[in-house]
Amino acid sequence: MPAPDAYDDLGDLGAPPRSPRRVVSLVPSLTEAVAVTAPGLLVGATDYCTHPADLDVPRVGGSKYPSVAAVLELAPDLVLANEEENRAEDVAALRAAGIPVWVTAPRTLAQAFTSLGRMLAVCDLGRPQWWDEARKAWAPTFDGAPPRVRAVVPVWRRPWMALGRDTFAGDVLAHLGVGNLLAGHADRYPRLSVEELRALGPDLVVLPDEPYRFTAGDGPEEFPGVRAALVSGRHLTWYGPSLVEARDALERQIHG
């Protein structure tokens, strides 16, 4: 019987039988985590894996629609995936072809650090310096304190979608004193009209530059009279080395 630590965040057997030598990552944040820690281990990534900036590996398509054939051609002994970013059918196809797939699924900052630690252990990478630095950066929290502002957080437009319950990004914002007005919604990413979002009466609208690229001229105009914070989607939604600088970056962008 496999050891308990051989099972990924979803409880599926995801660890390879031995330390991997060839890893393909379908998740930008995990790509960065592996590439920063052990550059030679990564042999493939998606088109959306933009960090590190000098990343030079074969690309296998997008996160939602990677080419399973392209992944298999790279002969990985481990593929890294995420419950939200990657489709279950692609994970199943890779596993059916005999490729171990490790799926992450953190929904809080604490879970992200645990998930990263387990993923790094599966890749036989130990506990890199950036992991400790990120933990230290996020040690002071607002747990138990009232939020400083009440916000809505759109993540898509046409149609409008926003952060709802149980999301990693929502928990990151909570640690920064931002109360998500949709945190109690039944859906994790509710589809609401912009009129419904405005009717919630937010003090702040948080507009990340990914997955939808909100800009100064595309988004804030829909929330007249409400302060808008344009934030880095990488710092809000990625879990990996970006967490080292994310707290300071988001504090500046949200609270000034």
Nearest to 50 by CA among 234, 244, 250: 234
Give residue limits of the domains in the chain. 4-127, 149-255
4-127 against 149-255: fold identical = yes
DSSP 178-228: EEETTTT-SSSS-B--HHHHHHT--SEEEEESSSS--BTTBSGGGSTTSEE
Class of the 149-255 domain? alpha beta
pTM of the complete model? 0.93
Q: List, for residues 58-100, the tens digit of each pLDDT value.
A: 999 998 999 999 999 999 999 999 999 999 999 999 999 999 9
Question: Per DSSP, what are the bridge partners of residue 198?
Answer: none
Cβ pair 206, 149 in contact under 8 A: no
pLDDT at residue 143 in the model: 58
Percentage of the residues of the chain whose pLDDT score is greater than 90 = 88
Q: Which CATH superfamily is domain 4-127 in?
A: Nitrogenase molybdenum iron protein domain (3.40.50.1980)
Q: Which one has a higher pLDDT value, 168 or 140?
A: 168
DSSP 101-143: EEEE---SHHHHHHHHHHHHHHTT----HHHHHHHHHT-S--T
pLDDT at residue 229 in the model: 98
Average pLDDT, the chain: 94
As a whole number of angstroms, the distance between CA 25 and CA 50 comes to 12
pLDDT at 18 over 60: yes
- Please give the average per-residue pLDDT across 121-133, as a whole number: 94
Q: List, for residues 151-191, the tens digit of each pLDDT value.
A: 999 999 999 999 999 999 999 999 999 999 999 999 999 99
As a whole number of angstroms, the distance between CA 224 and CA 227 comes to 8
